[in-house]
């Protein structure tokens, strides 16, 4: 009788301990899941606002260099990352605001630009303006002569004005008109071939709106030729 009683008591104790383990597990799992979610969210938020994590223009400049190159020369990656070196400061600042206002659509640049103060934008524009590295210039050489003809003289038969009329004979730009000299060949091809998507002009249009009819008037071959020509300019 005593043995049966002791066995019953042990069984009851095991049952109580088992219930406690289940309850503990039920409490622990949601906490673990919540911790994972919070950590993942924190990492995503940190990635989105990484530019804001370092104070000062120098730190922000270094952050930009991670993608655009140590000398702002651009980068040939899966997606071409544009050259910023020597860019017109007014154009530079306007494009940062365009990302914030969704006049240009790029989620990465939106998160980078939205944490920058106007003073920081000006400082970055000035720093990149001062750089002048050698162009990467890997475009097809056979297209350069045709590209020069189009850039300097336009395409009169198709009522396309000369690029030099706005961007200057050396393609260095002025004020809100961007420098094209030394710009990455695939980046220029991408921008001109998909102008409506690249510069949707939602909200307040800027000076880039004048490029829409020009870009749409150029053939794919003409776009490639112009892009090749400017990519070698210093």
Q: With DSSP H G I counted as helix, E B as strand and the rest as coil, what are the percentages for the chain, rounded to 5? A: 65, 5, 35
Q: What is the pLDDT of residues 21-74, one digit of tens each?
A: 434 434 343 434 333 333 333 433 444 444 444 567 788 899 999 999 999 999
CB atoms within 10 A of CB 152: 14
Q: Does domain 50-231 have CATH number 3.30.43.10?
A: no
More confident residue, 76 or 30: 76
CB atoms within 10 A of CB 20: 10
pLDDT at 213 exceeding the cut of 80: yes
Q: In this structure, what are the phi and psi dihedrals at residue 106, rounded to the nearest 5 degrees? A: -160, 110
pTM of the full predicted structure? 0.74
Q: Rounded distance, CA 219 to CA 234, Å?
A: 25
Q: Rounded distance, CA 64 to CA 66, Å?
A: 5
Tokens of 106: 């790029």
Domain ranges across the chain: 1-48, 50-231
pLDDT at 94 exceeding the cut of 50: yes
How high is the pLDDT of residue 32? 41
């Amino acid at each position: 009788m005593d043995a049966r009683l002791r066995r019953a008591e042990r069984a009851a104790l095991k049952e109580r301990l088992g219930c406690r383990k289940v309850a503990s597990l039920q409490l622990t799992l949601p906490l673990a899941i919540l911790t994972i979610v919070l950590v993942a969210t924190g990492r995503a938020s940190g990635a989105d606002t990484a530019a804001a994590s370092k104070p000062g223009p120098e730190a922000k400049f270094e952050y930009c260099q991670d993608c655009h190159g140590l000398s702002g020369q651009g980068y040939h990656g899966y997606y071409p990352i544009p050259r910023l070196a020597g860019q017109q400061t007014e154009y530079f600042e306007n494009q940062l605001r365009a990302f914030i206002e969704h006049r240009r659509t790029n989620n990465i640049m939106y998160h980078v630009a939205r944490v920058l103060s106007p003073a920081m934008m000006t400082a970055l524009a000035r720093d990149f303006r001062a750089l002048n590295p050698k162009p990467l210039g890997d475009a097809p050489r056979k297209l350069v002569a045709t590209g020069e003809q189009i850039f300097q003289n336009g395409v009169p038969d198709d009522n396309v004005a000369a690029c030099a009329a706005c961007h200057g004979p050396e393609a260095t730009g002025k004020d809100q008109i961007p420098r094209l000299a030394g710009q990455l060949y695939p980046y220029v091809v991408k921008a001109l071939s998909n102008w409506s998507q690249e510069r949707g002009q939602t909200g307040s249009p800027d000076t880039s709106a004048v490029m829409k009819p020009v870009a749409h008037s150029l053939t794919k071959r003409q776009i490639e030729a112009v892009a090749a020509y400017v990519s070698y300019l210093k």
